[in-house]
């Protein structure tokens, strides 16, 4: 058995309500009553004690019997006290043959860091995308540790601290729950119709798992375990789905609720099949750019009238920013002549 941290062992025992008193200069006496049965054991006070490993081995066996748990479970609980574990298992034809490209490992570990880091960002602020990680998410990742790799598998075990960070209670625990819920929902959600899926995960997280899964020449399935739940991400079924989600989140994050205020520059009305298309181009006095807006018949007729007199109009909607293209106002509402025709008025 590997050397155990006495600090973790004592913390584990105290959180499980074992009562400590001094036995002598080398040992504590610990006591606990479970279901009216009294237990008393000795725990070393220092790791420098002769036969320290022997005493710890006997203690772990005793705890497994007393608590009705397998020895391995008790070992994990003590070793990982103060941490939750998230496991990333990598599966590919190469791993099945017992090999793993060394060049892939740094990329995979970096993407695991990003998945945790940017999921932690969403736990603080539910945005669709982040330009850079938030400070508290960086602090969480700084305290994460790589755990022991499981024998006979390609698993990266990450120990995530469960303590409170500033005002975020059980921050790491909540982040892992978010990761598991987010990926499991992402595998089944209707991307086009109801995708925001409560903003569980953001574009940065999906970009990281896409990069981890690789490309057509070298691909991985990824099995994730944490918070008592499993999630299997399969390249064949999930890779393109996650790319679509990432693209959708990028489009949505480019949408901003705004007021467009300006003058109508162009009017365009045509019939396509049985549908009338009525569009105008407005020179927006707020953004200093041109905005295309599709209108209903009533609003379009008003736009024709104000265009003759170059009156200033206002309209609410969702502005989509598209690189190198005309800005588009989606879902326009409340199209009207502005009460104030001053060109320099501040609408904010």
| Mean pLDDT (whole number) for 273-281 | 84
Which of the four pLDDT bands, split at 50, 70 and 90, describes residue 228? confident
Give the alpha-carbon dihedral of 19, 24, 26, 32, to 10 degrees.
-20
The three-class DSSP label of residue 99 is: coil
- What pLDDT, in 10s, does the model give residues 309-339? 889 999 998 877 665 567 888 888 999 999 8
Instruction: Indicate whether 193 pLDDT > 70.
Output: no
On the question of pLDDT at 345 being above 60, the answer is: no
Over residues 241-263, mean pLDDT: 83
Task: Please compute the mean of the pLDDT values over residues 251-268 and round it to a whole number.
Answer: 83
Measured distance CA(5)–CA(145) in Å, rounded: 15
Determine which of 124-128, 234-238, 250-254 has the lowest per-residue pLDDT on average. 250-254
| pLDDT at residue 312 in the model | 92
Contact 75, 169 (CB under 8 A): no
Name the least confident of 26-30, 57-61, 72-76, 169-173: 72-76
Q: What architecture (CATH level 2) is domain 255-337?
A: Beta Barrel (2.40)
As a whole number of angstroms, the distance between CA 231 and CA 185 comes to: 10
Extract the runs of DSSP E, i.e. beta strands, from the chain. Answer: 19-22, 27-34, 37-44, 83-91, 145-146, 155-161, 214-215, 218-219, 221-226, 229-233, 255-272, 275-284, 290-294, 312-320, 327-337
CB 288 within 8 A of CB 271: no
pLDDT > 90 fraction of the chain, expressed in percent and rounded: 35
Residue 211: both structure tokens together: 């990069």
- Overall pTM > 0.85: no
348: confidence class by pLDDT, cuts 50, 70, 90 = very low
CA distances from 327 to 109, 164, 256, 321 (A): 39, 44, 11, 5
Pairing label, strands 327-337, 290-294: parallel
The residues spanned by each domain of the chain are: 6-79, 83-253, 255-337
Whether 318 contacts 332, CB under 8 Å: no
CB 120 within 8 A of CB 140: yes
- Residues of the chain above pLDDT 70, percent: 90
Q: Which tokens in the block code for residue 3?
A: 């050397």
CA–CA dist 332, 149 (Å, integer): 55
Residue 149 in tokens: 């790799």
């Amino acid at each position: 058995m590997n050397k155990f941290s006495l600090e973790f062992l004592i913390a584990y025992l105290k959180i499980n309500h074992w009562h400590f008193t001094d036995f002598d200069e080398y040992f504590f006496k610990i006591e606990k009553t479970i279901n009216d049965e009294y237990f008393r054991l000795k725990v070393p006070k220092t790791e420098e004690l002769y036969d320290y490993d022997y005493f710890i081995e006997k203690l772990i066996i005793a705890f497994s019997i007393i608590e009705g748990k397998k020895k391995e479970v008790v070992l994990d609980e003590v070793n990982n006290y103060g941490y939750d574990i998230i496991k990333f298992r990598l599966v590919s034809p190469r791993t099945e043959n017992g090999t793993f490209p060394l060049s892939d490992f740094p990329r995979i570990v970096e993407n695991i860091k990003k998945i945790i880091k940017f999921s932690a960002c969403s736990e603080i602020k539910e945005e669709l995308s982040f330009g850079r990680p938030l400070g508290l998410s960086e602090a969480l990742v700084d305290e994460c540790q790589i755990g022991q790799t499981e024998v006979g598998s390609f698993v990266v075990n990450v120990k995530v601290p469960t303590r409170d960070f500033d005002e975020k209670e059980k921050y790491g625990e909540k982040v892992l729950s978010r990761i598991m819920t987010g990926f499991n929902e992402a595998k089944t959600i209707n991307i086009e119709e109801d995708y925001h899926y409560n903003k569980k995960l953001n574009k940065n997280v999906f970009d990281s798992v896409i990069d981890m899964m690789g490309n057509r020449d070298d691909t991985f399935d990824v099995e994730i375990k944490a918070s008592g739940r499993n999630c299997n991400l399969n390249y064949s079924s999930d890779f393109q789905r996650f790319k679509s989600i990432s693209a959708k989140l990028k489009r949505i994050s480019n949408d901003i609720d705004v007021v467009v205020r300006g003058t109508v520059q162009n009017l365009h009305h045509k019939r396509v099949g049985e549908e009338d298309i009525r569009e105008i181009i407005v020179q927006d006095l707020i953004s200093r750019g041109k905005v295309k807006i599709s209108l209903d018949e009533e609003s379009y007729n008003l736009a024709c009238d104000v265009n003759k007199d170059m009156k200033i109009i206002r309209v609410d909607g969702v502005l989509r920013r598209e690189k190198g293209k005309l800005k588009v106002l989606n879902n326009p509402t409340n199209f009207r002549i502005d009460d104030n025709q001053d060109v320099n008025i501040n609408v904010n």
